[in-house]
Amino acid sequence: MRRVSPVCQVEPGGMWAVTRYEDVLFVMKNPALFSSEGFKLAWQPPWVGYNPFANSLLAMDPPSHTRLRGLIHRAFGAATVARIEPRLRAVAADLTNSLVEETDFVEAFAHPLPAFAIGEILGLDHALHAHFKRWADEFVAITPEVPSPEDAERVRKTIAELTGYLMEVIETRRRAPVDDTVSDLVRAEVDGQRLTDAEIVEFLVTLLIGGLETTTHLLSNSLLFLADHPDMMDRLHADPGLTAPFVEEMLRYDGPVQTLPRISTADVVLSGVTIPRGALVIPIVASANRDEAKFKDPDRFDLHRGSLGGLQFGHGIHFCIGAALARMEARVALEALIARFQRVERVPGELLYNRTLTVRGPITLPLRFTSRQ
């Protein structure tokens, strides 16, 4: 597609796919031409009804986006990342104990670690961690394509369940505030106005879904790569300082975020092709990060490439506010796993991946772990 049809319509629904690095970057740099309302079109099709994720910060343009974005710094800022890192290291080390010989890495490690981080930041009940992944999986799996009646009803029930739970949390914090993000949001004022309960719920859903699903997939993709490339595991054993550049190159090479839906606000020409006003535009981040015109030998994993994750965290006003947290979680996780295990290997069998428009990762990941002597 990058070589022959870098901007073209694809199914379902005639979405406009954008595949070259410079074109994807142009879309991200120009929110006035490419509205983030595309997320709403992708995540709140008629069959869904109301979806708080589709009405969140991710789907907003200025000035609404500008009004609310400052609040998220409090949740995902440097101080928060530094505060939870020691506890996250302890949890990561503890979770390695569950990786005995053959195990599902997603269930045993890749989900529980970011679930703990998000639970800590939001002050949510850690007993609900098991529900976090189910909620996240259902939300990100929504597409404009109409599913079966049973699947549609399950998704709508999940949305109602999560929304109801968060409304209860908000009411509890309003009656008895504590030192957590939810209490901060209940007390917060933006432009002299308090946030509505709906705005707080939409905000919390963004932090929960955005901070969980992506990191889970990043950790799973990383371990899958190490299982297929034992020489890389040896390099990380020899020099644990390479963990940080490993994370950056993994973000480029096989990052969790695949697309960032937008809606064109005017006729726009990209790579000689006119995208009409009002079109659902799908900049394919995964393709941009493998663009031969930007990255030399892009299908080769290069620890010293210096790609800084490519476009995995977006660009401009919508640059991922959780980037520092995701990088820290991945580094902490890999350091714990490398310190504990000599080898990680695939267990024979087909890998099943999720079915979503925006993120990609294995649903389950059976691996075999061999401890270091």
230 preceded by cis ω (within 30°)? no
Q: What is the pTM of this model?
A: 0.87
Question: Mean pLDDT lowest for which of 72-81, 131-140, 163-172, 266-275?
Answer: 72-81
Per-residue pLDDT averaged across 348-358, rounded?
85
Domain that holds residue 131: 7-371
Q: Is residue 2 part of a domain?
A: no
Is 251 part of a structural domain of the chain? Answer: yes
Q: What is the model's pLDDT at position 355?
A: 78
Number of independent structural domains in the chain: 1
* Predicted confidence (pLDDT) per residue in 253-264, tens digit: 999 999 988 999
Scan for tokens 């949390």, then name that residue: 169
> Would residue 1 count as lying in a domain?
no
Least confident of 29-38, 139-148, 253-262: 139-148
Q: E strand or H helix at 366, and its extent?
A: strand 366-371
Does 326 fall in a domain? yes
Q: Are 302 and 295 in contact (CB under 8 A)?
A: no
Residues 336 and 365 sit within 8 Å (Cβ to Cβ): no
Quick check: is 82 in a domain?
yes
% pLDDT > 70, the chain: 90
CATH of the domain at 31: 1.10.630.10
Report the chain's mean pLDDT, rounded to a whole number: 87
73 has a pLDDT exceeding 70: no
Residue 24 lies in a domain: yes
